[in-house]
């Protein structure tokens, strides 16, 4: 169903986004298409960080909107986080199309008008909104490219990502990486934001190692 949805949205999802989705699918097979124990820990840590944020922003691209517009809307409402459309392959047609989909689930997303830049990225990729990512303290960037993730970290943002590949540069660069499938993970994250459980010390590098151990054991057994 996810695959069909991505294909059906046509040019709103970049072709490179389809290839990236395939990489995720492969890791999800290896995870057994279930939320692994280390991901549950990362979800708790992410929820705490989101609760404590002053100006959280959810950065979404074509894949995220195609797969999880409703869940993103729910997370936005639960956490008072703004949603900003932020594209690697930015065109005004794609931004407008994604804006309309988010509008359909009750979210007035930022990103149509951009007045700020993310330092360290080239031209179109650097564009962002001053009232969104520009002034955010915490940025939630699911399915993000490694350069963008690094640039947000370099800006001093606290970066939370959701990425099925525990070895990707995004996973390795973010402060909190949830290695899980987007639509499976978001309801758990929303529950955790609502629930308010605190985490005592979260180490992203250690968590990613646990995920790799989990995958390795599954393959062996």
- Contacting residues toward a second copy, per CB under 8 A: 3, 6-7, 15-16, 18-27, 29, 165, 167, 212-213, 215-217, 219-220
Please give the structure tokens belonging to residue 66.
């195609």
How far, in Å, CA of 64 to CA of 33, rounded?
A: 18
Please give the structure tokens belonging to residue 101.
């989909």
Residue in this structure with the two tokens 């968590």, named with its chain if needed: 207
CA atoms within 13 A on the CB side of 117: 8
Q: How far is the CB of 177 from a second copy (least distance, A)?
A: 16
Q: Which is nearer to a second copy, 48 or 168 (CB)?
A: 168
Residue in this structure with the two tokens 């960080």, named with its chain if needed: 49
Q: How far is the CB of 16 from a second copy (least distance, A)?
A: 7
Asked if 47 contacts 75 with a C-beta cutoff of 8 angstroms, the reply is: no
Q: Which is nearer to a second copy, 135 or 172 (CB)?
A: 172
Q: Which is nearer to a second copy, 58 or 68 (CB)?
A: 68
Please give the structure tokens belonging to residue 163.
């990425």
Q: How far is the CB of 98 from a second copy (least distance, A)?
A: 18
Q: Which is nearer to a second copy, 47 or 215 (CB)?
A: 215
Q: Which is nearer to a second copy, 21 or 44 (CB)?
A: 21
Q: How far is the CB of 120 from a second copy (least distance, A)?
A: 23
Q: How far is the CB of 188 from a second copy (least distance, A)?
A: 23
- Burial string for 39-53 (b: 16+ CB within 10 Å, else e) reads bebbbbbbbbbbbeb
Asked if 189 contacts 199 with a C-beta cutoff of 8 angstroms, the reply is: no
């Amino acid at each position: 169903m996810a695959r069909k949805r991505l294909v059906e949205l046509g040019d709103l999802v970049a072709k490179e986004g389809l290839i990236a989705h395939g990489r995720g699918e492969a890791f999800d097979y290896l995870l057994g298409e279930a939320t692994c124990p280390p991901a549950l820990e990362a979800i708790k840590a992410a929820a705490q960080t989101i609760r404590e944020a002053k100006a959280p922003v959810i950065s979404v691209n074509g894949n995220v909107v195609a797969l999880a517009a409703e869940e993103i809307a729910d997370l936005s409402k639960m956490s008072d986080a703004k949603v900003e459309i932020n594209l690697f392959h930015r065109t005004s047609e794609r931004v407008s199309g994604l804006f309309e989909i988010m509008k359909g689930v009750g979210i007035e997303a930022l990103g149509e008008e951009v007045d700020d830049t993310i330092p360290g990225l080239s031209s179109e990729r650097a564009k962002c909104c001053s009232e969104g990512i520009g002034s955010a303290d915490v940025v939630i960037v699911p399915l993000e490219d490694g350069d963008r993730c690094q640039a947000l970290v370099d800006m001093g943002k606290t970066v939370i990502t959701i990425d099925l590949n525990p070895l990707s540069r995004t996973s390795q660069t973010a402060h909190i990486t949830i290695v899980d499938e987007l639509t499976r993970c978001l309801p758990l994250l929303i529950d955790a934001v609502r629930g308010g459980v605190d985490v005592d010390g979260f180490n992203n590098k250690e968590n990613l190692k646990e995920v790799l151990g989990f995958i390795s054991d599954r393959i062996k057994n």
